[in-house]
Structure 1
Amino acid sequence: MIEIEQSAALNTVQDLGRTGWRHLGVSVSGVMDPLALRAGNILLGNEENAAAIEVQMFPFRVRFTADTSIAITGADCRARLDGTDLPAWWGCAVRRGQVLELRYPRSGARGYLCVAGGIDVPPVLGSRSTALRGSFGGFAGRPLQRGDRLAAGTPAAPPLPPTGIGIEPPEQAMPQTFTRNRAGLVNIRAIPSGEYPLFAADAERFWRQPWQVSLQSNRTGYRLAGEAIFPAETVEMRSYGLIPGIVQVPPAGEPIIQLSDANTAGGYPKIACVIEEDLWRLGQVQPGQSIQLVETDAQGAIDAQQAIGRWLSHLRDNVTMLTSVAGF
């Protein structure tokens, strides 16, 4: 179905992740931007958890070996199909022999190539996601390489029209839910947790200053660069379970946000936890860019979750309507 013509390290097959195995030391893995994956799959009539290709190193080029439909979501990767530019957040039919190229993004960090029927690789522990540190899942447990050939599952919906269908990106569709500060930095909401009281006066600076995503960042976690914060006293801590979103503060004082390939246990003091509904935005922040952490609470997370639910429901309804009206 797909032959990889050009790829770089870290481009992998991912779904929504591998849950229920952290007690055995197995990370969740999965896409860094779950909204992009779910939206692309909805457009194609796939299950929302269908596997896709996560592209974070560019350029990336594939040749289609059979007619199918695709959706390109996430970062604006300046996609070109046989040399013709495609809009961001776009779905369309493709023909056998056509070549798709994704280039360095205008905005965002990770693009997603979803295919009708989903990328068909063997599930491992209930997921098709690639676990790079464990070298399992995905396509042979490794990043994609030139010459790899990926199969797709059976499509559950008719092909998309060749003219294509667009999706309104979540930031544009929900500007009051996913905001930026006056400097244009992405606001990332987090709830104080764990050892937050230990940071005393430094806790205020944790929220006030912008934090730059360090170049020493990856799918395991984002290390934040800024004026260091320290607990008021040194404490001995037992290791505890970790989930994506936990913000730990190591001895150097620069926080680390655990992400999709998060460690399953750790012992650094935890000052906060990014709400699950904002993790997709972190996945679209490039190293070297800055973010603003914003304090919220459980109700703020619930409000964001409900807004996302409405957006996805609206997308499903629109796809159903377009399919019915166009008769494809």
Structure 2
Amino acid sequence: MGIKFASGGFLTTVQDMGRTGYQESGMSVSGVMDQRSAAIANILVGNDENEAVLEVTLMGPMMEFTEDNIIAVTGGNLVPKVNGKDLPMYQAVLVHKGDSMNFAGMTSGSRAYIAVAGGLDIPVQMGSKSTNLKLKVGGYQGRKIGGGDEIGFAAPKTTLPNMRKRKVTPEDFSQTEKTIRVVMGPQDDCFTEKGVETFLSSTYAFTNESDRMGCRLEGEVIEHKNGGDIITDGIAFGAIQVPSHGQPIIMMADHQTTGGYTKIAGVISVDLPLVAQSRPGYKVHFQKVTVEEAQKLYIEQVEKLKALKEELAKVPEPCGELDAVIQVAVGCESKRYWNPIGTYRVVIDGTEYMVELEEETERFR
């Protein structure tokens, strides 16, 4: 099977990178709120970055693994534990049938991501496994996960190449005051010069009215020229609407497809995780950047993720009879082992296996 849930926590859903191609019909893209954390979790367990993960919000679920598999937890630190012991974050870890997992509470950020090797056994609907809570489409029966629910593993694994290297430095989401970079527009000309200056120089706080659809902020009033209403047009992930009351709203993964409020700016892609990992009371400043700067930062992030994926997928090449291969002669008494710690190919009756040597051993026959 895979995972059996004793409780679903505050809000645990199945999400991938979103259901694209249907906004013209009024269907939100949905998908993970923090795309970078989800992508890293998938890469660590050998999945494609778009594979579905469990998105855990604020208070984590209690669950039991009913089959062995490799998992990774990234994003906000909600203190994941397996069998009562801290689980290292941003690292691939093998869990076993019967192991229990829970989360002790938030220490930084607000959302954690759990990826499992081989992916979750969730049906693809309109090109995605993501949960659209409003339309009750996708994910686990179109809803959040609760006690008694079970989700299977699609293709579980107990070993991966370079298992010991499958860890990265955790991201720091502990800062309660952040600078978020934005590209101005498309309706920044609907605001007075003073309004734009207020937006870029003031401090805004996340309010309790923040969820997967959007985050309402509170702070200095942003002045319009002629009110905040416009002819309805499209909305993108990260768009910052400013209705007539002058308080900004950052549109998130479950945002509506169109809206009739002025949009003063949009959060750049690489900074969206900072918004997704914020909680009520966190403060934010906005910094203007150009489209070219935003694109450069995005390309750098894509290249880093690609490099991590390629590095972890490398298989050590044999460099001699014993130098990089453990050879086992099955059916006879001769066995030879090479000493250094690392990942090796094991050849048994002509079949190759990957073996992780965790301790140095002596050669013997």
Match of 1:194 in 2: 186
Residue 157 of structure 1: how far off its partner (Å) = 8.4
| C-alpha distance in 2 between matches for 1:102 and 1:309 | 30
Structure number having the greater strand percentage: 2
> Is contact 1:56-1:110 (8 Å) kept?
yes
Deviation >6 Å, runs of 4+: 160-164
Q: TM-score, normalised by structure 2?
A: 0.82
Change (3 A) 1:86 1:105: same
Residue 165 of structure 1: how far off its partner (Å) = 4.1
Residue 124 of structure 1: how far off its partner (Å) = 1.2
Change (3 A) 1:320 1:163: closer
How many residues get paired?
A: 319
Match of 1:233 in 2: 226
Aligned AA for 2:182?
A
Residue 262 of structure 1: how far off its partner (Å) = 0.5
| C-alpha distance in 1 between matches for 2:233 and 2:158 | 44
Change (3 A) 1:156 1:64: closer
Q: TM-score, normalised by structure 1?
A: 0.91
Deviation per residue, 1:144-175 (Å, 9 max, x gap):
00110001211478348997842223569xxx
Change (3 A) 1:163 1:306: closer
Change (3 A) 1:271 1:198: same
Residue 129 of structure 1: how far off its partner (Å) = 0.3
Deviation per residue, 1:110-131 (Å, 9 max, x gap):
0011111111211111110000
The runs of 5 or more residues in structure 2 that have no matched partner are 318-341, 345-354, 356-365
Deviation per residue, 1:240-282 (Å, 9 max, x gap):
0111111111121111111100011100011011112211221
SS at match of 1:215: strand
The runs of 5 or more residues in structure 1 that have no matched partner are 173-179
- After TM superposition, list the pairs within 5 Å mapping 1:26-45 onto structure 2: 26-45=27-46
Does residue 255 of the first structure (1) align with residue 229 of the second (2)? no
| C-alpha distance in 2 between matches for 1:293 and 1:139 | 36
> Is contact 1:129-1:137 (8 Å) kept?
yes
| C-alpha distance in 2 between matches for 1:304 and 1:245 | 16
Aligned AA for 2:145?
L
**Among candidates 274, 291, 297, match of residue 298 of structure 1:** 291
- Sequence identity (%): 33
Match of 1:177 in 2: none
Match of 2:133 in 1: 132
Change (3 A) 1:157 1:19: farther
More off after superposition, 132-141 vs 157-166: 157-166
Residue 318 of structure 1: how far off its partner (Å) = 3.5
User: Looking at both structures, which has the greater relative contact order when contacts are Cα pairs under 8 Å and sequence separation is at least 6?
Assistant: 1
> Is contact 2:215-2:252 (8 Å) kept?
yes
Match of 2:52 in 1: 51
Change (3 A) 1:236 1:93: closer
Residue 310 of structure 1: how far off its partner (Å) = 3.0
> Is contact 2:229-2:262 (8 Å) kept?
no
Aligned AA for 1:238?
I
Change (3 A) 1:129 1:280: same
Residue 198 of structure 1: how far off its partner (Å) = 2.4
SS at match of 2:208: coil
Residue 11 of structure 1: how far off its partner (Å) = 1.1
Residue 202 of structure 1: how far off its partner (Å) = 1.4
